[in-house]
């Protein structure tokens, strides 16, 4: 962990390194002929971000400056930061990283998507730490739920579990599964207490679902773990799955959720016939 002095220095050095990577032409500034260093000048970053030059200079110098969320958003935009850089910037500035870029941001790593697609007859998704579904395979769309039909801002498994009637009907024991999901979400919640996006989601669900409102207040805690899950499909009937979850080592914010047909059941046969016809 950084101490306070190190944190401010690291923040300043991080900003300097990122402005050095931006060509003036990328942000509509003239290249000029007397640039002694690559990238943008401090005054250009300050101008483009709508903040004072002196104040920005102090930040780069590692002075103990408190930076507002609005200023961070402007700097992230000016410096064209990707989602990991944005997260790092906010942490150094001692603010909770925004969550919206995790919903609307970059596409999933192509290698992760390739793994999903290789699971031809096993419905699978990749979710972030806040239970947002960010990628899925064809089996999941055909057997469980077509996430393409859900607005990107609403692709949250907790929200879907309690507000999507089509999804709720898929469970032979919806109440059991819903309570387990709440307990798992509550375990994660400890890391994000006060996160505006999370708090807004909880408030909305407490207003929209009497079950969620009641069960959220129970404070049950349970980590994600493998379990059996039965699904009612409108055409295939009852399907029996083993539900396993894997954390993606290269990105600890992501997890892969896989439904695999229970050995000895007719689930895999049904799915193959359905998807290959």
Residue 46's CATH number: 1.10.260.40
Question: Could you tell me the CATH number of the domain that includes residue 208?
Answer: 3.30.450.180
At residue 2, the pLDDT reads 55
Q: How many CB atoms lie within 10 A of CB 5?
A: 10
Same-domain pairing of 108 and 92: no
Per-residue model confidence as pLDDT tens digits over 4-14? 888 899 999 99
Are residues 86 and 112 both part of a single domain?
A: no
Quick: pLDDT tens for 201-254. 999 999 999 999 999 999 888 877 778 999 999 999 999 999 999 998 776 678
Domain containing residue 216: 104-276
Residues 113 and 84 occupy one common structural domain: no
Residues 113, 68 share a domain: no
Give the strand order in the sheet containing 124-128. 133-136, 124-128, 254-261, 237-247, 227-233
Do 27 and 114 share a domain, yes or no? Answer: no
Q: What is the enclosing helix (H) or strand (E) of 128?
A: strand 124-128
| Reported pTM | 0.66
**Could you tell me how far CA 127 lies from the centroid of its own chain?**
7
Residue 166, phi-psi category: left (phi > 0), alpha (psi -120 to 50), beta (remainder): alpha
């Amino acid at each position: 962990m950084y101490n306070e002095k190190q944190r401010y220095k690291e923040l300043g050095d991080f900003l300097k390194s990122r402005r050095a990577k931006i060509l003036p032409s990328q942000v509509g500034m003239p290249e000029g002929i007397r640039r002694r260093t690559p990238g943008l000048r401090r005054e250009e970053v300050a101008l483009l971000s709508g903040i004072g030059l002196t104040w920005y200079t102090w930040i780069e110098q590692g002075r103990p400056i408190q930076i507002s969320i609005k200023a961070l958003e402007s700097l992230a935009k000016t410096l064209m930061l990707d989602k990991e850089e944005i997260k790092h910037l906010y942490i150094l500035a001692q603010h909770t990283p925004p969550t919206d870029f995790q919903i609307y941001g970059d596409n999933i790593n192509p290698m992760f998507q390739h793994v999903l697609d290789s699971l031809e007859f096993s419905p699978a998704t990749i979710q972030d730490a806040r239970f947002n579904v960010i990628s899925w395979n064809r089996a999941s769309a055909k057997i469980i739920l077509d996430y393409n039909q859900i607005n990107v801002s609403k692709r949250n498994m907790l929200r879907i579990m309690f507000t999507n009637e089509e999804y709720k009907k898929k469970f032979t024991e919806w109440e059991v599964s819903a309570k387990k999901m709440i307990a798992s979400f509550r375990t994660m919640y400890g890391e994000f207490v006060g996160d505006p996006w999370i708090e807004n989601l909880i408030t909305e669900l407490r207003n929209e679902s009497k079950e969620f409102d009641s069960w959220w207040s129970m404070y049950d805690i349970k980590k994600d773990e493998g379990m059996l899950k039965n699904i009612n499909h409108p055409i295939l009937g009852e399907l029996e799955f083993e539900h396993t979850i894997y954390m993606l080592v290269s990105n600890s914010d992501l997890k892969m959720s896989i439904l695999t047909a229970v050995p000895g059941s007719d689930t895999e046969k049904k799915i193959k016939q359905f998807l290959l016809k």
